[in-house]
Chains A and B, each alone.
Chain A
């Protein structure tokens, strides 16, 4: 672990000489140009917020593109349930050097909720993915450690945050 990071730091040190990537709304233009059929419905509702829909199959290259362009902080991964047929995974990506937060939404079918894991790109995606998995039942392909995080292990499979969850309010 230590050696690896020493390397990282050296890489960072040399990278500082290169002009730092721009953290502003132009990234959205670049994003929709790079991924012509992967990113759509781009909107900037507030000065520091941008929203877009993405193709769930191309989530990994899109995120890699954002990471390369300075969006180095995955803020949050949330699941949203839209019965009867859809589920959404919302990624909030931001940067340690600017205020812009990009919300990327990927719609996936509710009866087969699967999407690629981001653990290779953002290290801290792991717990968010585990949380979304246990609460919604969304399966993240290739997530290295996909099992319950917050719930007791016997509650795996109940998916409590889905809208049709029967265990709320608590019957006991």
Chain B
């Protein structure tokens, strides 16, 4: 795989057109510019141009105290805000040398998995609307509302939860939460199974998705992708299993893999991961220990000792990492965000070359990249 596949190298020939998708385009939530050089309907070269909502987060974070950064980490990727909180708090806990309480660990796993479910639901929804299946999109968002309500009951917010704290979490569970959650999740399980059956049996859908945008395992590794696109190729790489954090090593779950590596498998991985997350949440609700959900003295004004940490967790989209360098003051010296969507976005243009214009929507949406996190 050469680098010429990531960029448009020459001006279009008379038989070719340069087609610009974006920045305002209904392809994905978030602006980006995808330049395609097409001949007829076939894509000859593709180039992805990003940065349209580059906020300069890394610079802003260097000017904020550690606790001020916490709510801002939500905004890195609004669909995985709990994961982002969590990876930041885990990094800070390493720097500060504290350990979250047992109950807080379980609560974080609970919110992370809920977050994964809602992100996958919206991801699948976006994807189905991109292959023209509007009804399934609406069903997915409808089911997502239930999960958003569950998250809202814990954190008080629909999207940017700001829930984890250094060494704990912000709130305990509301009373009667377990029954409410089990009811909603039970319904969701049935609905997801029926949607899965529908998507696996719809012949037009299968025609659109089977064998499209195929990544092999070696290709995916070479492109540096992680998360569902990698697991769809059959590689069992999940940081929850590879590098167990919080209480994931006490919980029973499978790493979902598929073998084909095409668009269909990526969506299938997400669908099955929703079911697996529901299973995890059921265990978490059963095993939830009593005790404090936060430290007795919350470290609000923090001056960690000079040092550095690279913490990473399994985001809904893959490997989310943060590299924090402390110089002993109350603000980080350097704050680097390694987003999973950045890696998948980079892997997009090589996948598009040789496919049809109509597949662009399907492939791009099946990678489920989050523009906000790509641009940061």
Contacts and interface: CB of A to CB of B under 8 A. Distances in A.
Given A5-B219, A96-B237, A150-B50, A124 B310 contact: no
A17 interface: no
Contact of B321 (A75, A127, A144, A165): A75
A26 interface: no
A151 B51 contact: yes
A116 to B, nearest CB: 15
Interface in B319-334: 319, 321, 323, 325, 333-334
Do most interface residues of chain B lie in helix, strand or loop, or is the interface mixed?
A: mixed
Interface in A72-96: 72-76, 78, 80-81, 90, 92, 96
A49 interface: yes
Interface string B26-68: 0000000000000000000000001100101011000100000
Given A5-B1, A46-B94, A149 B50 contact: yes
A127 B218 contact: no
A75 B338 contact: yes
B354 interface: yes
A14 B336 CA distance: 38
B63 A12 contact: no
Contacts of A80: 325, 333-334
Contacts of B219: 5, 8
A119 interface: yes
Nearest to A51: B308
Given A5-B219, A75-B319, A126 B5 contact: no
Contacts of A145: 3, 6-7
Interface in A1-37: 1-2, 4-5, 8-9, 12
Given A48-B243, A78-B334, A124-B343, A5 B216 contact: yes
B118 interface: no
Given A78-B323, A168-B59, A92 B310 contact: yes
Interface string B1-24: 101011100000000000000000
Contacts of A101: 310, 312
Interface string A155-172: 000001100010011000
Interface residues of B, number: 50
Contacts of A169: 63
Contact of B224 (A8, A98, A123, A151): A123
A76 B321 contact: yes
Nearest to B375: A150
B1 A4 contact: yes
A78 to B, nearest CB: 4
A7 to B, nearest CB: 10
A8 B218 contact: yes
Interface residues of A, number: 47
A109 interface: no
Given A49-B310, A96-B237, A127 B342 contact: yes
Interface string B225-242: 010001000010101001
A152 B297 CA distance: 45
Given A8-B219, A73-B221, A103 B310 contact: yes
A127 B346 contact: yes
Given A76-B336, A78-B334, A1 B353 contact: yes
B99 to A, nearest CB: 13
B321 A124 contact: no
A51 B309 CA distance: 10
A100 to B, nearest CB: 9
Contacts of B307: 45
Contacts of A48: 243
A127 B6 CA distance: 10
Interface string B176-198: 00000000000000000000000
Q: 7 tightest CB-CB pairs across the interface, nearest first? A: A124-B224, A150-B51, A99-B243, A76-B338, A78-B336, A150-B54, A144-B3
Given A73-B221, A75-B312, A152-B51, 10 more contacts: A4-B1, A5-B218, A92-B310, A99-B243, A103-B308, A145-B7, A148-B51, A160-B56, A161-B59, A168-B56
Interface of A: 1-2, 4-5, 8-9, 12, 45-46, 48-49, 51, 72-76, 78, 80-81, 90, 92, 96-99, 101, 103, 119, 122-124, 126-127, 135, 144-145, 148-152, 160-161, 165, 168-169
